[in-house]
Structure 1
Amino acid sequence: MSRWAALPAELDPRVRQFVVRTRRMKDHSGLSLRQLAARTGYSQKSWERYLGGRSLPPGDAVEALARAVGEDPTRLLALHEVAAQAWRTGRAEPPDPEPLVVPDAADVPRPPGRSLRVALVAGAVALVLALSTAALLVVRLSGGERAGPPATLVATDVPSSAPASPTAPLYACRLERVDGRWYAGLSRTRGAILAQGQAGPDVAEAQCLLRRAGLAPGAVDGIFGPVTQRAVRDLQRRDGLVADGIVGPHTWKALRG
């Protein structure tokens, strides 16, 4: 597995999620950067910038990458659109458009309705991210008030840790092993991409499984903060994964054991 350099700390979580996805696609394909450049028409130095989080690739490069590794580009283009919005908001410079060769449009097959599918998927991804951010702000700004008492944390075979903050909602960890994999009763996902700043049951599931693994993600509150990110990195180092602090398919595999 490639040992990628750590992404810039100031990178927006939505951009980070996109870059991590493209890194994994490149790793799974087994292509070198030189081979990737030859297949996509974008230079090796351009891909070094794109995969290093220093520059955002243009849409044509994203589609060329997906086709070079044999994957449907629709979902990757949707993630790219969300990342591009975050990039434009956070930085003054536009995405790097430096290709070596611009392929003729007739040479690139475009399935009918692709633009509509990309727009729909991008809208769904943006909505989920917006709702997660809104939930995090409500919890932090309103003092975590709820209509009823918070759920009791069920620590089944989980190491003890510091008491949870009274202002954060708690999730119940109900650990069980199914078909050789661990689940905490909050999410069945095995491939959701989680990064700092996100919130919800997928995050709480990861926190429960981090506790089961003997690590300390902080309170099981469903909020992906610095403490949870540190625990994710500790797990990734322990299991020989890229220690980027982002939960993806490989990290889920390690968590579910």
Structure 2
Amino acid sequence: MPRSRTLPAELDPSARQLVTRLRLLKDHSELTMRQLATKTGYSAKSWERYLGGMSLPPREAVETLARITGTDPVPLLALHEIAADFRDGRRARPAVQRKDEQRERDQEQPARPTTPHTTPPAASTAPTSPRPSEPAPGRIPHLALIAGLAALAVALSAVLLLVLRLDDGGSQAVVTGPPRTTAASPPPSYTCRITRVGGRWSAGINKGRDTEIGYGAGGADVAEAQCLLRRAGISPGGIDGMFGPLTLRAVKTFQARAGLTVDGMLGPRSWKALRG
């Protein structure tokens, strides 16, 4: 391939510089196209296209040529990468953009003068591309949808917050509730005041009544019996007015000692024995 062959005008600067340096490497190595094809694995016709600027050589071809000529491949590969990016960018440009560029070039050309009798050409009816400042078609519905969803989310959040506040108010009402009108009264306190009244023992609690009581009973009659059982030397537990297990055991013990029926019930006979 002669050295004086002119490179295509549409080559970008990086591709032009890359091809120029590849030409110099081939010329300095004094390799023919056939020898270059044998050493690199790419055909002679391919190298004619590469060195003629008709197509960008593969990365491997550039690296192989640098290796067989004893040249550092890094600068060449950097130029190749820039040229490849430029080529891919041109291919990726949309057709509309290329039409817009062509239309701008046409508008830059001076208008042809028209005579008074010449009818001016009709305005072009071809659709023009939207201005950069105007929203693209389909964008307004998309923005409206986003705004609607945002408003819906705000409304749902407000409703949820209101429900939570109502739940908190109801829970507090259930937990606190109205104040109790009656407070639990403390258990009565009994004191044994053992005295002998009319030949009968009395603890001064139930005014000498002989009411029949049994297990589970409570009140002053039970406290009176507990005091009299303690006077008889049998412990009923505490003097609390509750006919519980300890009091029941003490009553049965007293009945057995007094020769009465051991049933755990304090009737007239048991009361008479207790007050002896």
Q: Which has the higher helix share?
A: 2
Q: Which has the higher contact order (CA 8 A, sep 6+)?
A: 1
| TM-score, scaled to structure 2 | 0.32
TM-score, structure 1 length as denominator? 0.35
